[in-house]
Amino acid sequence: MRLTLKSINDELARRGHTARLAKAAVYFYFEGGEVDQWLYRTVQVPTVSALSMEEWMREFERLQAVNAQIFGKGSKPPPRKPRK
């Protein structure tokens, strides 16, 4: 399966999220829904295929945890997994 913004956004929706992944000039960011109140929502990678689908989902969950911690709604965020 070819990784695209659409496939990532479809997976986010399948998992019950209203947020979507979008492309900026030199990075990607999550927007909409629950993400609109987040302080941190960017992922610094040059292409959508720089991460696997599961890595994109982990980045979303990591950012979700980071923002929850900032606003006092969660525990320690999960660590970033090193890229190969």
47-79 per-position pLDDT tens digit: 999 999 999 999 999 999 999 988 886 555 556
6-19 pLDDT, tens digit each: 999 999 999 999 99
The SS3 of residue 56 is: helix
CB distance 56 to 49 below 8 Å: no
Q: Where are the domains of the chain?
A: 5-70
pTM greater than 0.85: no
Strand ranges in 12-77 using DSSP code E only, listed in sequence order: 20-23, 28-31, 42-43
